[in-house]
Amino acid sequence: MNYLNIWYKEILEVVRDRKGLRQILLMPLILGVFYAVLNPALGELVNRRSEKTIVLPVQGLAYADEAFVTTFARFDIVLEPYSGDLETAVRTAAEPAGLIFSEGFGEHVANEEDARLTLLTNPTAGGLFGGNLSLSRIQLALQTYNQGLTVDRLQARGVDLQVLTPVQLDAQDLSTAVQRAGAAAAIFLPMLVAVGAVNGGSFIAIDVTAGEKERGTLEALLGTPATDRQIFLGKLLAVFTVTAVPIGLTLLGFWAASALLPSSLVGDAGALPLSVIFKAILITLPLALFANVLLMIISIRTKGFKEAQSAMAPLLIGVTFVAMAAAFVPPVDTVLYLIPVYGTSAIVGVLAQGGIIPANAVLFSVVGSLLATAVVVVVALRLFNRERLLYSL
């Protein structure tokens, strides 16, 4: 059982390395809390901006009729006269939007003639969230004004207003609290899972391969009676053991932070059920094993710790990209769940939303990760031999 001795040795070295242990335990917690707070905080920021009073610079306000100004005021939109070049101000992002009334606007409306408005917008003004401009609110205000004019004109002609709404819509929100809580998590949770599977074991994967190679301790280990396969298996088992801990901490941190967020941020959605978190952890472990082998393959081919860390960056970027694809473009066929990272992330997204997981999707996801693991293990065993480890870069 030499591989168990090697596993014990690697775990013991991780525990003794206080700095590395803090990184393994604290960073996943911080990452989980960060993602749990980020999404609702951004959503609340956007909502607050959209609810603030909109001050809309206007040219030709004198041509507007009183009903127009009153209607826009009901939607908390203040029409403010603008004396400069409004088109240039919007084009240069000095103003996020502007409204221009055509000459005689009020008279054209009163005479039931075509009345023209020009709305100038620049979504880039004011930074990421559009400088407190809610274009939908402006459009809704204009729609309400138009409807008011239509009603007045029909009443003047003695037309029954019921003809305007022959169908009444009874909208009912049937979403559950679990689904509302998962709607926000469905984007970030799959990425957390994928990044955790790779990032959680990167430190120890580098340390037990490139790190030992750099320190010269790998040569002493190869001098023991353990075979090359046993050495690889023992190290892989240690990497997987340490990876499982950050994955659990990340997702539990995500759950704990979302459960403690004030209702002002999450509304009536609440936190995800703890069962969803545990299911996500279990589904992620096969993917983590695949990622661990990839990390060991990459790091064993490098000269030292720093070079191995740099070599990990493309893998982390690729995994994040695939996880994002799963969040925005879910699989349309069960077979697609076989794709490592993509299938696992897609299932976690469905779990977060409280949706129905397609039949055999979980099985396909696990099988896909294990098959991919088997392939990369074969590659790793070819690289993990004494001659290559000692005499190749």
DSSP characters over 68-83: HHHHHHHTTEEEEE--
Interaxial angle between packed helices 18-51 and 228-260, expressed in degrees from 0 to 180 and rounded to the nearest 10: 40
Q: Does position 374 have pLDDT exceeding 90, yes or no?
A: yes
pLDDT of residue 371: 94
Neighbours of 355 (CB within 10 A): 14
Q: Does position 370 have pLDDT exceeding 90, yes or no?
A: yes
Q: Which residue has the higher pLDDT, 330 or 375?
A: 375
Q: CA Rg, the chain, in Å?
A: 30
Q: How far is CA 259 from CA 134, 274, 331, in A?
A: 30, 10, 30
pLDDT of residue 19: 67
Q: Does position 168 have pLDDT exceeding 70, yes or no?
A: no
Categorize the per-residue pLDDT at 290 as very low, low, confident or very high, splitting at 50, 70 and 90.
very high
pLDDT of residue 369: 92
pLDDT of residue 23: 65
Domain boundaries, the chain: 2-42+176-391, 51-133
pLDDT by residue (tens digit) across 53-105?
788 898 988 888 888 888 888 888 888 898 888 888 888 878 888 888 888 88
Q: How many CA atoms lie within 13 A of 103 on its CB side?
A: 0
pTM score, whole prediction: 0.64
> Per-residue pLDDT averaged across 304-314, rounded?
79
Distance between CA atoms of 383 and 295, rounded to whole angstroms?
13
Which SS3 state, helix, strand or coil, does residue 113 take?
A: coil
Categorize the per-residue pLDDT at 134 as very low, low, confident or very high, splitting at 50, 70 and 90.
low
pLDDT of residue 256: 76
pLDDT of residue 372: 93
Categorize the per-residue pLDDT at 37 as very low, low, confident or very high, splitting at 50, 70 and 90.
low
Q: Which residue has the higher pLDDT, 326 or 393?
A: 326
Going by C-alpha positions, the residue among 289, 327, 246 that lies closest to residue 39 is 327
Q: Which residue has the higher pLDDT, 392 or 63?
A: 63
pLDDT of residue 286: 92
Q: What is the mean pLDDT of the chain?
A: 77
Categorize the per-residue pLDDT at 133 as very low, low, confident or very high, splitting at 50, 70 and 90.
low
Q: Does position 377 have pLDDT exceeding 80, yes or no?
A: yes
Distance between CA atoms of 226 and 376, rounded to whole angstroms?
22
Q: Which residue has the higher pLDDT, 305 or 318?
A: 318
Distance between CA atoms of 97 and 109, rounded to whole angstroms?
23
Interaxial angle between packed helices 305-328 and 177-199, expressed in degrees from 0 to 180 and rounded to the nearest 10: 150
> Per-residue pLDDT averaged across 10-28, rounded?
70
pLDDT of residue 368: 92
> Per-residue pLDDT averaged across 270-290, rounded?
82
pLDDT of residue 5: 76
pLDDT of residue 105: 87
Q: How many helices (H) and strands (E) are present in the chain, helices listed first?
A: 17, 4
